[in-house]
Every structure is written in C-alpha cells, then in structure tokens.
Structure 1
Amino acid sequence: MDTLDDMLSMLLDGAVEVLDISPDLHDSAVERYEEVGTWLAENGRPGWRIYPQGSFILGTVVRPSTPTGEYDIDLVCQLPLHPDSTTQERLKQRVGDQLTAYRQWKKDQGHTDGPDSLEPRRRCWTLEYPGFHLDVLPAIPDEKHPPTGIRLTDKELREWQRGNPRGYAAWFHKRSELSRKVLDKRHANVADVPTWQTRSPLQRVVQILKWHCMIMFADDTDNRPPSILITTLAGRAYTGEEDLFTAVRSVLDNMTSFIEKDGDEWWVPNPAHEKENFTDKWNEYPERREAFFAWFNEINATVNELAGMKGKGLDAVFERLTKSFDHAPVLRSFEKYADRMGAAPNQRMGNTGLLSPYATGPRKRDHTFYGQHSAARD
C-alpha cells in the first residue's frame, strides 16, 4: 500500500510530467537551436561560441500556463572580444545582423521551417517559431571571472551585466546529484542541449514550484518571482531527498533561509558568480519582494495542508490540488494513478497514511479543457 507521501509524490510527478515539453516539440526546438547556432558559429568570425542556458540545459522546462504560452529555449552567442574593443550596442547589432542574414537565407532557400519573426529584446534577440521561441543572448568573456563568466548586453543599463550560465548549470547538476556528459556532435563551437530521459527529484521540485508560480502570477507577470531565483533557492535548500513530496516539503522548509540581508540590501547570490544578485530589484521595487513572499506563503500553506490529509479521500486530495494547480494535468495524473492501482473506484488514506479501499476517488470531469494545450492531448 502507498503512504500519503507516496501518493502525493506520484500525483505531483505525474501532473508535472504532463507539463514537460512534448518529444516532438523538444526535438524541433533543439533542431532550430542547432541550426541557428551552427549558422552563427560558421558565419561569424572565428571563435564565436554557442551554448544553451536556462531551463532546457537545467532540465526544468515547464509548459506555460496560458493557452497562447510558448516554450522558450535560450542560447548564448559568445564572441571572443574584450569589453574595451566593443560596446553593448555594437555587440548586440553584430549578432542581430547574423540572425537577419540567417532568416533571409532560410527564405531564399525556400525553407518553410524558418523563424516567423526576429525581434530585439532588452538583452537578447528573439526568433519566433510555432509553439516556442529561441532567445539569442549576445555575450563576451568576463575576464574577471574565467573560465566561464560572461558579460551581457542590456539596452536599459549602461554597465555591462555579468553572468555565468555554464557555471550555474554545473552547480545545479551537482546539486541534483546528476552526472551527465554533454557530447558535441555538430559544429565544434555549438554545445548540445542535454536530453533528460528522467528527471531528478530536484528538477521535479523546481518544475512544481515554477508551475505554481506561473499560475499564481498569470495576470501579473511583471511581479512574478523569476525562475532563476526559485531555482537557486530550491537548489541550495535541497539535501538529497529521493521522495518527491518529501523533497518539496524539505525545500520549502529551508529555502528562505538562503535569502540574505546586508543592511537594507536583500541578497541571493548567483552560486556561480558571487557578484550577481538575483534579488537586486527588491529594494528598488518592494512589490516584487512582497510578491515573492506571497507566493512562498501560498505554496507552503498548500503543501502543509496536503501533508495533513491522512484519512481524507482521494476526492478531497484531488480537490485540494486543483485549487492550486491546473485542473487538466492534475486530472491526468489522477487517472494514471488510478490505472496503476488497478482502477479501484474506492480509495481512502487511512490514519496510518496507507492507501486503503474505503472512499470514492476523484470525480471525473469532461475533458474539453484539454483543448487549451495540444500537449495535454498527447
């Protein structure tokens, strides 16, 4: 028999699995990344390096919660330049010129799989494709943080911004207790996007936290806590739990202890670049700090309430989950769980925490909401 923690782990894992990018769309996004990266590496000057960053390389991608939401895959286009030899504006334009040439080449060749548009953003260039977009971040090496630190462009700031996406990915993978080798199969300067056949508990924890956050701030994206902040705090708080629900509870119990305050300044350092602060906007925009703690308090209360549902029926667990998470993925996970249990119609969590046949399971609803996202129908 399953304990309550076992059941909640399987239900949460099954629900967030529905939100994973579909294999076909993943393959399409990776193919576009590799083609764009190869174009930049081959047509830029020698030494241009292309590599992924963000949720694709971390293995924490979550399907956007809005019907029109898109996945995004981020790549860094690093040029071998010294900051004294260029400006942020010139660097961004050089990369933009190559992307414009790439898009025109696709049209001239009569290819129908090229980007629908190319748009400049605050720090990057965005190539739009059906179902996802590709963000290309121009960068140069940060000579003060070798070997993987970079300087970034930002049209709203005069100073070069700094980061270390490769160092961050290495830190996160170590925290996940993963050991995966990224093989270079194509252009020597285009690093592959790793394919995650299974997710580690930490990767799943981050997906669950990001999922909840996206839902809570669906109508207030300006104040939504950034994924990198949630991922960093979760990575620091994770202590190796194998059971997913136990890992979620442990992370929530500890993650705010890694938020520092020096005088009036809030500080969550990038573990791969100590001078980059992931809460640097909190003093300037206190509503963003308030939004983070409002989100944290909400998901913490949800998880604590779920942890206290021994003796409650599956229908009660189902209803509680759907108060905080998307209905469709939760229902899909419950259906899968019921199949695993032999489609037993009557299940209750006993006072011991073990699953036993006494109460009715979740009531099924019409499946018309699956039409919101094609991936839900896969």
Structure 2
Amino acid sequence: MSAHHQTRGNTDSPEKMLSMLLDGAVEVLDIAPDLHDTAIDRYGEVGTWLAENGSPGWEIHSQGSFLLGTVVRPNTETGEYDIDLVCKLPLQRESTTKEELKQRVGDQLVAYRRWKQRQGHTDGPESLESRRRCWTLGYPGFHLDVLPAIPDEDHPPTGILLTDKKLHKWQHSNPLGYADWFRARSELSRALLEKRLVASVAKVPEHHIRSTLQRLVQILKWHCMLFFADDTDNRPPSILLTTLAGRAYRGEDDLFTAVRNVLAAMPRFIERRGNQWWVPNPAHEEENFTDKWNEYPERRQAFLSWSNEINAIMDNLALSESKGLDVVYSQLVKSFEAGPVMRSFESYGTRMKAQPGQRLGATGLLSTTASGPLRKPNTFYGPHPGARS
C-alpha cells in the first residue's frame, strides 16, 4: 500500500517520508555519540600533551568532516572513522622546513605514547605511524590524523601551511575559516535554529544535532563512496562535494527536497577560468578544489557520471513513492546499502505502527525478500564500530 494513501489522520507527505528514510539510513553511518565523545576525550588529551610538552604556543584543533559534522563511516574492512587534527606551531616559514616541522610533532607524539604505556593506561593509542602529511594515532573504532602546520602569514588569522612529503611546496589550508563558512550555510535552515533552541533547554550537546545541510552532505558522500568503491583514484574528494553542496544549498528544511535541489544546482558553481576548471575554497579563494580535473580530465568525467547517477536515483525515488514502501525500499537498497537502509525502514515501521489506525501493506513494511539486485553487504555498518560481518 502506498504511504501516500495509508489511512491515518496525520499521513506523512511523500517528501517527508523519503526524507525520514534517507535521514535514518545515513544516521546509521554517522559516528555514534559515545564514540564521538571518546574521540573528543582522546584528542583533548593528545592536544594537552602537545601544548604542555611542546614549545610555548602550540595549538591543536580538529578539521575536516569531524569539525563540520559530516562524518560517514568509511567503506573499508575495519570501518574505522578518520578524524583529522591540526597541530599548529607558532613558527615562521623561513625558520623551519617541512621535514623538521613534521619530526618535531612526531617526536612529541612518540613521547606521549611512551608515557601512556609507562603509566599503564589502557586508553592510549594502539599504534603510531608516519604518513604522507600527518602522524596517525590508532584507537579502537577510529584513528586520529595529526597534521603538523604553521601559520600562513599571508592569510591571517586562521590560514595555515601544511607539510606534504610528496610535494615540494607548503600546502595552504584554512579549516577553521571553512568551518565558519559551512556553519553559516547550515544555519540558513530555520529548523536547525529551532532544534538548537530546544536542545539548549534540554541540554543536548549541539554536536549531536545534524542540520539538513550536514545530512545532505553525508548522503552525497555515502553514495559517492559506494559508487567509486572500485575506483578510488577517480572518486571526487569530500571537500569538493561539501563545497558544491554548501554553495547550492538554499535553506530547505526537507532533506529529500534539499538533496534534489542541491544536485540540480551544483553544476552552476563549477567555474571555467580560461582553460581551467575551478571550484574555489570559500575560505581561501586561491585554492582550487578541482585542480586535479585540469591535470586528469577523466576525474571530471567520473564526477559527472556520479552526478548523473545520483540525480537519476532521486528522480526514481520520487516516482516510486506512489508504488508503495516495498518499492521505495528496493530502490534504496539497489542504490545504497542493505544494512543502513533496513535499519531505517525498521525505525520508520515502528513509528508508523505507533500511529492510531495505521495499516501496513499485504507484504508488510519491511519485506526482507524485496526485489532488487542487492550489492554484497559492506562491513561499515554493524552493532559496533569496526565490526566485521
């Protein structure tokens, strides 16, 4: 039976139903509140150690999806969350090299890990390794990537310069400035402001509230991760999807409507400057998030293929709503992933059954035999982080 024709006095609109199902599915992939709080504690302790044992003026702060609230559990064997931190030293570019900067931060992290082990603490990092741009501390369910940085004196007050052992030049960035921009775009939603007002009274931590824009970005990242599971070299970077979504977002409160509108508008924010494709960083206009398109044209074609695919999915979902929840379920499973989708439908079914006078279709809300070419289930959903099927 179609949700649109179900008999109850307060029937969800098609858009609201699809929004709730998408939101419920991607929520499964969001970092759990307890793991989020654990990561905050670990990051806080690491930051305190660096600040107290490094030279005066060392600062540490989060960046990337953890700071933006758009984390999606990666489609990897372990399903570990990746949390990026910046360790900024108050040095001038002329006074250090990238190699020296990275080693200084690494030395302190080695000392921190040894101190945790000597103290007999069981909550310290299980591993520490050097990577291309950062030092990685491994914990159960997540890892912290610590990126050494110095101030970018040409872009005060929040611009930074990062190390990269594969590149000769310092890399520009401005994660705090970008987060301010993204937060302002999120707050175009009236519903978000109302949720935060209620949360402040109920004392719910703000980081446990997701805006429409945050959820929208998580959906785009999730589908992109699955679409490019076997072609990670051509997968568009998350920062590109986040930036295009943030620019295209116009404050819609309904998630499904917002996804469709944003996807339709995103191409307008891809610029052509001479013979170069450009999507500027809102917090650092000289940085181009599509610079690789100019070097590898196949990456632009890959982005367009993904964009066409997810647009078609949303169009099909809009059409399938009138055919009943089993058809919607089948469409979502074919396009996304069985585990998170099933959990979302179970939650939605529980909510529907609680409504007076609610009747379900003959096959039931959640038919586990729903047709559709199911993909092989991944391991990034499960009862606990890092769980394996």
State the TM-score, normalized to the length of structure 2.
0.86
Equivalent in the alignment of 1:346: 360
| Contact in 2 for aligned 1:58/1:172 (Cα 8 Å) | yes
Q: Would you say 1:364 and 2:368 are equivalent positions?
A: yes
- Offset at 1:373? 3.7
Q: Which amino acid is 1:34 matched to? A: G
Give 1:79's match in structure 2, choosing from 89, 95, 117. 89
Q: Which amino acid is 2:125 matched to? A: P
Give 1:127's match in structure 2, choosing from 137, 143, 168. 137
- Offset at 1:361? 3.1
Q: Which amino acid is 1:115 matched to? A: P
| Contact in 2 for aligned 1:22/1:375 (Cα 8 Å) | no
Q: Which amino acid is 2:119 matched to? A: Q
| Contact in 2 for aligned 1:18/1:375 (Cα 8 Å) | no
Q: Which amino acid is 1:161 matched to? A: Q
Q: Which amino acid is 1:219 matched to? A: D
Give 1:19's match in structure 2, choosing from 29, 35, 40. 29
- Offset at 1:371? 7.4
Task: Say if 1:30 and 1:303 are closer, same or farther in 2 by CA, change over 3 A.
Answer: same
- Offset at 1:66? 3.3
- Offset at 1:37? 0.7
Identity of aligned residues (%): 68
Equivalent in the alignment of 1:242: 253
Equivalent in the alignment of 1:203: 214
- Offset at 1:295? 1.1
Give 1:295's match in structure 2, choosing from 285, 288, 306. 306
Unaligned runs of 5+ in 1: 181-193, 348-357
Q: Would you say 1:139 and 2:143 are equivalent positions?
A: no
Q: Secondary structure at the match of 1:140?
A: strand
- Offset at 1:365? 5.9
CA distance in 1, matches of 2:321, 2:206: 37
Q: Would you say 1:10 and 2:20 are equivalent positions?
A: yes
| Contact in 2 for aligned 1:66/1:218 (Cα 8 Å) | no
CA distance in 2, matches of 1:222, 1:130: 27
- Offset at 1:376? 6.3
| Contact in 1 for aligned 2:186/2:213 (Cα 8 Å) | yes
| Contact in 1 for aligned 2:226/2:336 (Cα 8 Å) | yes
Alignment of 1:166-315 (within 5 A): 166-177=176-187, 195-315=206-326
Give 2:100's match in structure 1, choosing from 76, 90, 93. 90
Equivalent in the alignment of 2:168: 158
Q: Which amino acid is 1:62 matched to? A: V
| Contact in 2 for aligned 1:67/1:373 (Cα 8 Å) | no
CA distance in 2, matches of 1:5, 1:66: 32
- Offset at 1:236? 0.3
What whole-Å deviation, never above 9, does each CA across 1:118-148 have from its counterpart, x for those lacking one?
Answer: 1111111111111111000111111111100
Bigger fraction of residues in helix: 2
CA distance in 2, matches of 1:313, 1:370: 27
Q: Secondary structure at the match of 1:147?
A: coil
| Contact in 2 for aligned 1:313/1:361 (Cα 8 Å) | no
Q: Secondary structure at the match of 2:153?
A: coil
How many residues were matched structurally? 354
Q: Would you say 1:31 and 2:35 are equivalent positions?
A: no
| Contact in 2 for aligned 1:139/1:153 (Cα 8 Å) | yes
- Offset at 1:263? 2.2
Q: Secondary structure at the match of 1:77?
A: strand
